[in-house]
Each structure stands twice: as structure tokens, then as C-alpha cells.
């Protein structure tokens, strides 16, 4: 019995050995290693999105990558990478947790504020059993804003003065050396802008009153400007083009047909000149001559000609070469109210009130009357349009207590601004960075272009001039924005000429451009908020008072 048992045991061991080692038969293959999959990436205890940018990431955050299996530590350093702006590889710390199924990654040193990063995990990452990651993954990150103050804190009044003074250097230090006029932008060379120069002229009385320059210096600059405009600059029917060559006075075409007079830009220039005329009121020969020369420039503008043959509307452009080819009537509501006011105010070439009533007020988006965010908007396009509609004409025209045909212009300008502010605060497009301190949609540079931003055309770009130039309408909200731009974003958007033109926190884009048409309103509207200086100067012009009365306006100053 014992002998048979030994034989049976030997036979069993032989058969088991053949089965295990294959022998001469096919046998059973070794099992495959378990697959490696990325379950989640955790940022701030929230699951990151692989399909959209993950915003507001703390630069010191530890990124947690959770896998379904243990990770082979030796493969992590080559498979996991963080790249700044999609290119430069960032040094990182890599650690492990949860029995090596969680990988922890952080920058060395911490990542930068307000910077784009890309986290990538490629398929060279392996599990401890040797399986490669099933699929590569990529996550886009944008770190949060550095809320630290970039400059020493100033009293509010001192901060307003600093912003005015530094912005004024654009029109003073960077003015064209021959003409004294404002360059279109900080890269324009000899190209100067007539409308932006008008805004810069309005800044000169501010600069004198705040002791940035002396009255003698301001007078000398005005003499240079007015002399160039009177004796050198090319004019068409007494009106000026959009752009001039600041050295020769020749017309610089704004577009293929726009090589002649621009009546709207001319009106911005004349608004500035008339305000300056009222300021330089000394009885001496120098200031008397300056005032007379400004009168000549204003009286030579043939406003009536721009009715294109007596029509009941003004036209924006006329060219000696191309005639009325652009054929653009000036109809409201937009930035051009002052064009009709000055046309009606002319003592030499006036237009009747019928042109204002049948032309300007016939615009398809003149009357509004709707309510947005609880604010009634008497005039303009849906939600008000870009904020320069409430800036350019109102650098000189004081909307306080101003009425015409039942329209309250104080309500119009304030509610237009409040709607713009509330839209940005509500941020229906979910743009990163919009807040009660980052707001203001108007015309400005954008990345690779230029556009007129508004609540109905929002591309995620904020222009500092929008909120700051609204200071008379929304002082608290505008001051909050100014402080944020200066103290928090100042390392990115504050330079020798004040604030740069625009920025997008969504795209981490910051303009390096400075535009006269945007810098001027900052100086002037801060001053109108503080003292009403430019409002008082422009509306003290006897012809402006008469012209506005002829159009049916009423106000305490009329």
C-alpha cells in the first residue's frame, strides 16, 4: 500500500511540473501587468478640467495626480512636466503619496503669479508592474493675481494728482517737437492726431493749475500748437483731418478714402481750443493774440458745408480728392454730440436746429428707454455701448443739470456707466479677473488689433481709461478701479506715460501702447470730478451757450 502511494505522488509531481513549466505543450502565458490610468488632477481640492483653462491657481499649490495603480517612481521625472506659456520647462518637485498611486508636483520655486502654465503627463509614465499610462493628458493653468501692493499707498487726493501728472507727460514730454501736437500713439513717429490733441490741449490748464508746469510754459506750448494749426497744417473747408504729419502739416490718410477733413475729430480739437481760449484770458498781447488765433481757427471751419448740399444732417468726412465717397452721416447716439453743438455755435458757418433734430436725433439707436440692471437708459444702443460715448463730448459739455427734449443728460451719462460697471461685475461671459475693481469697456487696443468693446461686444479686454474717465459719474467704483490698476497691476500697466491702453487678465495680455485719445480723458475727467475746471471753461464760451440754447438745451450754466 505504501509503495503504491509513493508511485501516485511521483506521478502527480511530474504532471504538475509539466503543467507549470510548459513542457512540450502551449501552457498558460504570464498575466499582463495592470493598466495605468489617470483618475483625477486635484487643484485647490477641486477636480481640474482637462477641456478648459483652470483659473486662479495659487502659485504655491501642490498639484495632486491620482492614478488607479501604483506609479513607478523612476519614470515620473521624464513623463510629467510643467511648461510656462507652453514652452519653457519649469523645475518641479515630485513626491508620492497613497502607496505611490498619487503623484504630488509643485514648482521650484513656486510658480509665478498671473502666468499661463501647461501640465502634461505623457505615456512614458509606468506603473510598478511596468504598464505604460493608457493615454497622455494635458491641463492648462493660469495662476492668480499677485494682490500685493506694487507702490507705496498714497492718500486718494495725492493718487489722483499722481495719475494726472504722469499721464500728462504723454502730451508734454512726448508731444511732437515741431507742432506740439499729440502723437496718435507711443509708436506713431511724426503722425499726430487732431482729436487726441484737442484732449491734450484741455489738459494744459489742468497742468498749470496743479503746478505740473508754469502758466508761461503752457502759453508757450499753446502758441506753438495754434501757430502750427493756423499756418502750417493742411485744412479742408477749414476742418482738419484725423491725422497730420506733425513736422510738415500734411494730411496723413486715415484710410483709403479718408484723406481729407474729419468733422468729428475737428470738433474735439475745437472743444479743446475753445476751453484753452477761455483759460488764457490775460489782457496782455501774448494771450490776446492766442485767443484771436483760436477764434480764427474756429470761425474758419465751414460747418454748414458738411451738410453735403444742404441736407438736414452733418457728414463725417469730406476730401478734395474723394469728395463725399465715405458718405457717413453723423447720427446719434454716440460720441459726436459736441460736433452738433459746435456747428450750431459757429458765428460764421452755423447750422440750424433742424439739422440737429432731423439729423443727429434720427439715428437708429438714438432713443433707448430700456432698463438694464435696474438702471433706465434714455439714449443709445442696448446696454449703452462703449463708455467713450459718455466721455468725449462730455469732456467739455457738463451733463449736470443738462436737459433737452425731456432727456436728463446727468442720468444718461451716470446710468450708462453704471450699466457698464454692473455688466463687468456680473461677468456673464465668465472672463477671468472681471470684478468690482476691474471693469470698463470702451474702444481700445486689443491683442493684435483694436475694437470698441461694450456689454454687447465684450472680448475680455479692459481699458483703464474706461473706468477712470468715468470718475464724475461713478466716483467710488472708478476710484476702486484706479487703485487696483495702480497698486495691484501697476507692475504690468503703469509706465512713464501713466496707464497703458488695455489689458486682458483672461489672456494674460498687457498692451505696451499708449493712445492720446485714451490718455486725454483720464486727465480731464479726473479734473472735472475734482473741480469741474474743463466743464466751466468750455461752457463759459458765449458762442457755446448761444448754440446750445438754439438747440433747446437748458442747464444752470446756460
Q: What are residue 556's phi and psi, to 5 degrees?
A: -60, -25
CB 439 within 8 A of CB 479: no
Q: What is the pLDDT of residue 33?
A: 72
Assigned C-alpha cell, 366? 438714438
**SS in 3 state form for 139-205?**
EEEEECCCCCCCCCCCCHHHHHHHHHHHHHHHHHCCCCCCCCCCECECCCCCEEEHHHHHHHHHHHH
Strand, coil or helix: what is 530? Answer: helix
- Is residue 99 within 8 A of residue 72, CB to CB? The reply is no
What pLDDT is stored for residue 360 in this prediction?
98
| Residue count of the chain | 558
Q: Which pTM was predicted?
A: 0.92
Cβ-contact 249, 233 below 8 angstroms: yes
- Encode 337-391 in three state secondary structure: HHHHHHHHHCCCCCCCHHHHHHCHHHCCCCEEEEEECCEEEEECCHHHCCHHHHC
Task: Work out the widest C-alpha separation in the chain, in whole angstroms.
Answer: 143
CA distance 263 to 313: 12
Write down the CATH number for the domain with range 38-143.
2.60.40.3710
302 vs 411: CA distance, rounded Å = 33
d(C-alpha 495, C-alpha 174), whole Å:
13
* 443: helix, strand or coil: strand
For position 19, what pLDDT does the model report?
43
- Would 38-143 and 156-550 be classified into the same CATH topology? no
Of 268, 273, 240, 267, whose CA–CA distance to 254 is shortest? 240
**What is d(CA 516, CA 193) in angstroms, rounded to the nearest whole number?**
8
CATH number of the 156-550 domain: 1.50.10.140
Phi, psi of 37 (to 5 degrees): -130, 145
Domains in the chain: boundaries: 38-143, 156-550
pLDDT at 1: 43
Contact 41, 138 (CB under 8 A): no
Instruction: Give the residues across from 498 on adjacent strands.
Output: 495
3-state class percentages of the chain: helix first, strand second, coil last, to nearest 5: 40, 20, 40
Nearest residue to 396 (alpha-carbon basis) of 343, 467, 342, 440: 342
Query: What is the block-wise mean pLDDT of the chain (558 residues), using blocks of 10 residues?
Result: 43 42 49 85 94 95 96 97 93 97 96 96 96 96 96 98 98 98 96 98 98 98 98 98 98 96 98 98 98 98 98 98 98 98 98 98 97 98 98 98 98 98 98 98 98 98 98 98 98 98 97 98 98 98 98 98
Amino acid at each position: 500500500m505504501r509503495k503504491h502511494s509513493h508511485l501516485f505522488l511521483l506521478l502527480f509531481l511530474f504532471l504538475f511540473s509539466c503543467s507549470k513549466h510548459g513542457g512540450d505543450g502551449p501552457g498558460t502565458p504570464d498575466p499582463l501587468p495592470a493598466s495605468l490610468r489617470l483618475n483625477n488632477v486635484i487643484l485647490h481640492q477641486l477636480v481640474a478640467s482637462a477641456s478648459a483653462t483652470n483659473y486662479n491657481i495659487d502659485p504655491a499649490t501642490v498639484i495632486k495626480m491620482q492614478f488607479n495603480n501604483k506609479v513607478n517612481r523612476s519614470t515620473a521625472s521624464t513623463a510629467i512636466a510643467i511648461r510656462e506659456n507652453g514652452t519653457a520647462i519649469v523645475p518641479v518637485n515630485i513626491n508620492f503619496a497613497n502607496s505611490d498611486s498619487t503623484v504630488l508636483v509643485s514648482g521650484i520655486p513656486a510658480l509665478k503669479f498671473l502666468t499661463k502654465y501647461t501640465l502634461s503627463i505623457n505615456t512614458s509614465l509606468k506603473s510598478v508592474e511596468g504598464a505604460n499610462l493608457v493615454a497622455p493628458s494635458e491641463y492648462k493653468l493660469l495662476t492668480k493675481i499677485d494682490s500685493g501692493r506694487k507702490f507705496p499707498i498714497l492718500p486718494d487726493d495725492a493718487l489722483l494728482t499722481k495719475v494726472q501728472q504722469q499721464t500728462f507727460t504723454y502730451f508734454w514730454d512726448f508731444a511732437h517737437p515741431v507742432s506740439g501736437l499729440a502723437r496718435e500713439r507711443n509708436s506713431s513717429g511724426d503722425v499726430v492726431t487732431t482729436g487726441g490733441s484737442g484732449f491734450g490741449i484741455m489738459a494744459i490748464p489742468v497742468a498749470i493749475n496743479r503746478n505740473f508746469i508754469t502758466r508761461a510754459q503752457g502759453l508757450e506750448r499753446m502758441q506753438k500748437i495754434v501757430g502750427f494749426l493756423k499756418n502750417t497744417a493742411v485744412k479742408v473747408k477749414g476742418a482738419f483731418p484725423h491725422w497730420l504729419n506733425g513736422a510738415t502739416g500734411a494730411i496723413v490718410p486715415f484710410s483709403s478714402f479718408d484723406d481729407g477733413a474729419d468733422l468729428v475729430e475737428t470738433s474735439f480739437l475745437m472743444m479743446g481750443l475753445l476751453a484753452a481760449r477761455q483759460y488764457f484770458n490775460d489782457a496782455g498781447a501774448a494771450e490776446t493774440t492766442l485767443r484771436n488765433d483760436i477764434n480764427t481757427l474756429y470761425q474758419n471751419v465751414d460747418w454748414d458745408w458738411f451738410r453735403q448740399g444742404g441736407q438736414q444732417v452733418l457728414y463725417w468726412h469730406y476730401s478734395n480728392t474723394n469728395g463725399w465717397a465715405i458718405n457717413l452721416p453723423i447720427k446719434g447716439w454716440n460720441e459726436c454730440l459736441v460736433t452738433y453743438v459746435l456747428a450750431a455755435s459757429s458765428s460764421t458757418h452755423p447750422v440750424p436746429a433742424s439739422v440737429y433734430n432731423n439729423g443727429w436725433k434720427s439715428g437708429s439707436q438714438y432713443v433707448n428707454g430700456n432698463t438694464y440692471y435696474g438702471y433706465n437708459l434714455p439714449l443709445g444702443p442696448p446696454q449703452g455701448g462703449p463708455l467713450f460715448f459718455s466721455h468725449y463730448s462730455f469732456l467739455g459739455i457738463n451733463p449736470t443739470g443738462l436737459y433737452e427734449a425731456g432727456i436728463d443728460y446727468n442720468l444718461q451719462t451716470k446710468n450708462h456707466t453704471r450699466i457698464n460697471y454692473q455688466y463687468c461685475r456680473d461677468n456673464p461671459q465668465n472672463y477671468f479677473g472681471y470684478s468690482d475693481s476691474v471693469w470698463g469697456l470702451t474702444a481700445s487696443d486689443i491683442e493684435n488689433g483694436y475694437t470698441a468693446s461694450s456689454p454687447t461686444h465684450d472680448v475680455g479686454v479692459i481699458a483703464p481709461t474706461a473706468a477712470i474717465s468715468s470718475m464724475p459719474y461713478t466716483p467710488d467704483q472708478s476710484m476702486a478701479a484706479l487703485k487696483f490698476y495702480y497698486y495691484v497691476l501697476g507692475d504690468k500697466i503703469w509706465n512713464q506715460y501713466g496707464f497703458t491702453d488695455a489689458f486682458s487678465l483672461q489672456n494674460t495680455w498687457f498692451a505696451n501702447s499708449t493712445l492720446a485719445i485714451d490718455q486725454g480723458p483720464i486727465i480731464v475727467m479726473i479734473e472735472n470730478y475734482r473741480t469741474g475746471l474743463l466743464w466751466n471753461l468750455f461752457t463759459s464760451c458765449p458762442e457755446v451757450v448761444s448754440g446750445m440754447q438754439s438747440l433747446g438745451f437748458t442747464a444752470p450754466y446756460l
